[in-house]
Amino acid sequence: MTIILATTTPGKPEIFASLQGEGPSLGRPSTFVRLSRCNLACAWCDTAYTWRFTGDNRFHRDDLAFERRENQVTMDEADLAATVAAFVPDRLVITGGEPLLQGAALARMVAALNAVRPGMHIEIETNSTVAPHPALDALVHQYNVSPKLAHSGNPAALALLPDRLAAWAAEPRAFFKFVVAEPADLDEVMALQQTYAIPGERLFLMPEGRSSDVVRRRSEWLAQFCAAEGLRFTDRLHIHLWGDTRGT
């Protein structure tokens, strides 16, 4: 059985060791596996090469199309588990794309990983719209849930599913991370927090930006808002260190 991954260069799966750059695990050494495919299309997505392949006309502000053969690769689940096990960090971050679209395959891969490297912390990043596969859910230690606000360009009917948001809000392993571009986005965040009773200690706000300058500029007012409202702020450490590049 195989898993569909993104690539760093044609034919090379995007698997790498780095520091987690966002959210509750910021700064922690982690091994990353980036999967391909997504059911949403964010206008500002910094990993559009995972979903906006030639022929896909969903909007993205860069208006770039990526060749599927160069940006997507399949890998045997057991081989992926063995590759991850060989990295030093004891934390695995599975990201995308939308990883939970491949939940059953991920469950088998993580089970294989646990057999050869017991005790790894499993962290999954998700856009909030897909329910975890039961077999995978039993193996996950942390979910980084990033619901997409209106400025992402996704219709709320696709991006903000009430049953899923309620389920994530009730899940103690789930930390919410909202991407914020303008002060006007904050009203939407606060409305969602109130509607779904999301605890402030599990709610992070993160500035949207693919350059350090933009992230810093938006951080100035966003950090002040978080302090005033009792929410958590998260930077984009990897952008400051390495820029908007694959495999970092």
Give the tens place of pLDDT for each residue, 221-236. 999 999 999 999 999 9
| Single pTM value for the model | 0.97
Q: Is the separation of the CB atoms in 31 and 87 below 8 Å?
A: yes
- Helices 185-196 and 162-169: crossing angle in degrees, nearest 10, is 70
Distance in angstroms (rounded) separating the CA atoms of residues 82 and 153: 38
Say what the pLDDT of residue 8 is.
98
Mean pLDDT of the chain: 98
Answer yes or no: are the C-beta atoms of 39 and 101 closer than 8 Å: yes
CA distance 32 to 29: 10
State the average pLDDT over residues 168-179: 98
Residue 235 has φ and ψ, to the nearest 5°, of -80, -175
First to last CA, the chain: 27
Distance CA 94, CA 181 (A): 25
CATH class of the region 2-177: alpha beta
% of the chain surpassing 70 pLDDT: 100
Domain positions in the chain: 2-177
The phi and psi torsions of 126 (rounded to 5 degrees) equal -145, 155
CA 48, CA 41: separation in Å to the nearest integer? 8
